[in-house]
């Protein structure tokens, strides 16, 4: 019933991760209280999880719309070849665009899934055109987000029943 995890992460570590994923600015004293430890060992565990790379960082979660990003959309991009140099060049290009927030290679090469933000429809169209006109791009399918019901950027901390 228990998962064998590569670095030894026990139940207390999981609780710590769940708490910090929910509130990354929680004080160590409060965190220690919640997991039933005193402050020093709790902090030692957090530092260890950071050093091990289990915790990769802490980020403020900002509202895109308030900052002027009215539109979130996805783009499925197909390239003309699967040549490694072409794939890498495409990745390098889109990673430099600030509107591109995520870039995932899918299905073994030649296809990418991007998540982008845009200020308005005109901006979205301009970005789509920029993608379509980029070197070696064969097709671009955009999927515009109408509404988002769940947006949990993190991962489940507990193992779940399959």
Site for a copy of itself in 13-52 (CB under 8 A): 17, 20-25, 52
Q: Residues 45 to 84: which contact a copy of itself by CB under 8 A?
A: 52-64, 66-69, 72, 74, 76
Q: Give the one residue of 28, 65, 81, 82 binding DNA; rule: CB under 7 A.
A: 28
Query: 45: exposed, middle or buried (C-beta count within 10 Å: 0-12, 13-18, 19+)?
Result: buried
Q: Which does 160 bind (CB under 5 to 8 A by kind): DNA, a copy of itself, none?
A: a copy of itself
Distance (Å, rounded) from C-alpha 74 to C-alpha 92? Answer: 18
Per CB under 7 A, 9 contacts DNA? no
Pick the closer one to a copy of itself by CB: 30 or 91. Answer: 91
Q: How far is CA 139 from CA 70, 82, 104, in A?
A: 25, 14, 16
Q: Does 29 bind DNA (CB under 7 A)?
A: yes
Query: Should residue 93 be labelled a site residue for a copy of itself when binding is judged by CB under 8 A?
Result: no
| 67 binding DNA? (CB under 7 A) | no
Nearest residue (CB) to DNA, 44 versus 101: 44
Closest to 72 measured CA to CA, from 80, 63, 59: 63
Cβ(37)–Cβ(5) below 8 Å = no
Q: Nearest 5°: CA angle at 107, between 59 and 158?
A: 45
**Interface residue list for DNA (CB under 7 A):** 12, 27-30, 37-41, 43-45
């Amino acid at each position: 019933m228990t998962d064998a995890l590569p670095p030894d992460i026990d139940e207390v570590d999981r609780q710590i991760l769940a708490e910090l994923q929910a509130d990354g600015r929680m004080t160590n004293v409060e965190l220690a209280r919640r997991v039933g430890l005193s402050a020093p060992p709790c902090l030692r565990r957090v530092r260890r999880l950071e050093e091990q790379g289990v915790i990769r960082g802490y980020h403020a979660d900002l509202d895109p719309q308030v900052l002027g990003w009215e539109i979130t959309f996805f783009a499925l991009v197909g390239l003309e070849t699967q040549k490694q140099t072409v794939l890498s060049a495409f990745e390098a290009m889109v990673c430099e665009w600030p509107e591109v927030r995520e870039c995932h290679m899918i299905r073994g090469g030649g296809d990418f899934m991007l998540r982008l933000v845009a200020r308005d429809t005109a901006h979205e169209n301009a970005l789509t055109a920029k993608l379509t006109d980029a070197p070696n791009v064969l097709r671009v399918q955009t999927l515009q987000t109408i509404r988002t019901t769940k947006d949990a950027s993190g991962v489940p901390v507990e193992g779940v029943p399959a």
